[in-house]
Amino acid sequence: MELPKRKTIEQFMAALSNEKAGLVTYLRTFICSLSPEIHCSMRYGTLFFDYKKWMIYINARDIALELCFLDGKDIEGYDNVLLLKGRKTVRSITFSYTDDIDIELLRSLVLSAMEVQKNAKGKKWKK
């Protein structure tokens, strides 16, 4: 399902079903609570989480919601959890319901993504 382009987080949320909006709100609150340096912004019509640079974005086009890690290929130890889905660097995990979220796994994934950015030498995907 192709969602219309949105310019604000409010427009993004309004375009989602109630179930997806609740899931995005939960993920947004949790991810942003992990560090005061994580910020949300809209790019390309979707919600991004920025740390040192672009770190995670939400793909809400399918039935489920996909949390996509831009440097996912560099996050070690989660090959069975983060899927490439034909992409070269971005890896993702999919959620359908809030109950699907393993909060400790999500915490570990986000903290690992932050570590990758702290240790990165290149500066692609800039804020």
What is the reported pLDDT for 120?
80
| Element housing 19 (H / E) | helix 18-33
Q: What is the pTM assigned to this prediction?
A: 0.87
Strand residue runs (E) in 36-85:
39-43, 46-50, 54-59, 65-69
Task: Let me know if domain 9-119 sits in CATH 3.90.1150.200.
Answer: yes
Q: What is the pLDDT of residues 58-116, one digit of tens each?
A: 998 778 899 999 999 999 999 889 998 888 999 999 998 888 899 999 999 999 999 99
Mean pLDDT for all residues in the chain:
89
For the chain, the structural domain boundaries read 9-119
